[in-house]
Amino acid sequence: MKQSQRRGWLVLLGLLLAAPATAQKAKDVCGDRPHCIVKGTQRAPKGHEVVELSLGKESGKEEEEDSKCEQKEWWLRRPDKSVVKLLDSCPETQGIGEDEVNVEKNRFIHTVTGGARERWERVAELQLVPLVWARGEQVSYDALDTEKMNRASFDYATFEGRSTWASCETVKAQLVPAVAVPAHFLSEGWKRMSLGRCSVDGSFVLRGKAQGEEDARIRAVLAQGNVLLLEVMDDTWTGPGEKWLTDDHVELWLSGWGPTSFNTCDDEEEQTGLLQWGIRIADGKVFSAYGEPKEPLPVEVAREGKVAHLKIQLPWEPGGLTVIYSDSDEGKKQELMVGTSALKFGRAATLSQVWRITPAQATCEVKENQLVPVRTELHPKPGETAIGE
C-alpha cells in the first residue's frame, strides 16, 4: 500500500472514531432533532463555550418557499456539562428583518435590524460568565438621511445610559432607569435612604456653575407603579418666598410620547402632551407650569440636613421625562439649574428617554442604606432563551 493511501485511510479511520464522540457532544444541545448540526463552537472564560447550531430551513408558511430561512440556535455549554439556550433565530419568519450574532471575550452580542426607509436596530449584549445582561442599545434612523439618527444605549454593569437624538440639531440626554425597587423602600425607606447607583445623576448644567460637590445635585429613578423617586442635595435651602421660581425647587417635565416622536427641526411643532410642574423643596407645594396641567400630582417630601427626598406619583406612564433642580441660594433668581437632559423650554424632543428594565435583567436592592443595582443571573426555563422576545 502506498504511503499516500495509508495516510488517507488513517485520516478516514480518525474521522470514524471521532464521529460518535462528536455526536455525543452535540446531543446535549441537539437532542433527537434529525437536521441539527453543530456549525461551530467558540471558547468563553472559565471552561465555558458557545455552540452554534443549524436546524435547516424553516418557514412559517410551507407555500412560501422564498421566505424560508436557516433556523439557528446558540447555546452556552458549561464546564459541568449543563447547557443554556442563549438565542434561537430565523429572522425572516419572525418578521424582524436581519440579525447578526458576535461572540467576543465573555460577551454574546445579538443585533437585529429592520424597517424600510425608517430603519431600526436593537442590540442585546450578554455577559457569558456569569450569565447576565451587559448592555442594550436601540437605534433608529432615516435610510435616505443617515444624519437623522436616534441612539440610546444602557450599560447594566454601571447602570448608566445616554441618548443622542440628531436631526437639524443634536440633542443629548441621560436615560432615566425604570426598575423595580423593594416594597419597603417604596413605602418608607425612600425618606431616609439614598437612591445610590440605581438612579441617574443629573449631569446637565442648564444655568450657572456649581460652587462645590454639595451644591445642587439631583438623582432620579422611576419605580414600579409610575412612582418617581428623587434625591436632591444642596448646601443651603431657600424658600418659601413670594415666587416659587426663585425658591429652591424641582421642575418636572413629562410627556406620554418619547422624545423621538417629536421633530428637533420645527420650533413651531405642536408639543402634544408636554407638561411641566414646579415642586418647592421647602414645603412640597406643587405648581402647574408649561401646558397648565390639570392632573393631580401627589408629592411627598422628606428633608434631612442637606438632602431632600421626594416621592411623586406620576399621572401616567411616561414616554419622555426630565427632572431639573433649580437652586436659588439668595432667593432672588435661579442661580444654578442641573438636570437629566439638555432641555430647551417647551421642546419635548429634548426630554430624557425612559429605559425600562425588567426583573429578568436587573432589580435594585438596599445595601448600607442605599439602593444598588443587582443584575439577574439568567436561568431560562426549557423552551425559553436567555435573550427573550
Q: What is the pLDDT of residue 25?
A: 58
Residue 334, amino acid = Q
Query: What's the whole-number mean pLDDT along residues 334-355?
Result: 93
Q: What is the pLDDT of residue 385?
A: 95
Domain identity same for 65 and 183: no
Q: What is the pLDDT of residue 92?
A: 53
Query: What's the whole-number mean pLDDT along residues 327-348?
Result: 88
Domain identity same for 192 and 302: yes
Q: Give the CA count within 13 Å in the CB-facing half-sphere of 308.
A: 27
CATH number at residue 274: 2.60.40.1190
Domain identity same for 75 and 180: no
With cut-offs at 50, 70 and 90, classify the pLDDT of residue 21.
very low
Last residue of a domain, one of 95, 118, 143: 95
Residue 317: inside a domain: yes
Quote the cell numbers at residue 198.
440605581
Q: Give the CA count within 13 Å in the CB-facing half-sphere of 145.
A: 5
Domain identity same for 295 and 197: yes
Domain identity same for 217 and 351: yes
Query: What's the whole-number mean pLDDT along residues 258-286?
Result: 83
Rounded to whole angstroms, the Cα distance separating 304 from 275 reads 29
Distance spanning both ends of the chain, measured CA to CA? 59
Residue 294: inside a domain: yes
Residue 323: inside a domain: yes
Rounded to whole angstroms, the Cα distance separating 285 from 365 reads 30
Q: What is the pLDDT of residue 10?
A: 46
More confident of the two residues 259 and 131? 131
Task: Please give the distance of CA 179 from its chain centroid, rounded to a whole number.
Answer: 10
Mean pLDDT of the chain: 87
Domain identity same for 183 and 77: no
- C-alpha to C-alpha distances, 360 to 129, 330, 355, 364, nearest whole angstrom: 16, 47, 14, 12
Return the closest-CA partner of residue 278 out of 263, 265, 262, 291: 291
For residue 332, give its domain range: 176-357
With cut-offs at 50, 70 and 90, classify the pLDDT of residue 309.
very high
Q: What is the pLDDT of residue 18?
A: 40
Q: What are phi and psi of 193, to 5 degrees?
A: -105, 155
% of the chain residues with pLDDT over 70: 86
Return the closest-CA partner of residue 199 out of 171, 236, 233, 165: 233
Domain identity same for 89 and 182: no
Domain identity same for 87 and 191: no
Q: Judge whether residue 6 has pLDDT over 70.
A: no
Q: What is the pLDDT of residue 58?
A: 62
Domain identity same for 39 and 188: no
Query: What's the whole-number mean pLDDT along residues 194-210?
Result: 93
% of the chain residues with pLDDT over 90: 66
Return the closest-CA partner of residue 28 out of 85, 72, 111: 85
Residue 127: inside a domain: no
Q: Would you say the C-alpha torsion 231, 172, 349, 163 has a positive or negative sign?
A: negative
Domain identity same for 213 and 343: yes
Last residue of a domain, one of 95, 121, 136: 95
More confident of the two residues 135 and 90? 135
Q: What is the pLDDT of residue 267?
A: 63
Domain identity same for 291 and 202: yes
Q: Judge whether residue 59 has pLDDT over 50.
A: no
Residue 233: inside a domain: yes
With cut-offs at 50, 70 and 90, classify the pLDDT of residue 281.
very high
Q: What is the pLDDT of residue 66?
A: 54
Q: Judge whether residue 17 has pLDDT over 80.
A: no
Residue 289: inside a domain: yes
What total of structural domains would you count in the chain?
2
Residue 323's Cβ-count burial label (10 Å; 0-12, 13-18, 19+) is buried
Q: What is the pLDDT of residue 204?
A: 95
Last residue of a domain, one of 45, 72, 95: 95
Cβ neighbour number for residue 162 with a 10 Å cutoff? 19
Residue 167: inside a domain: no
Domain identity same for 220 and 349: yes
Residue 290: inside a domain: yes
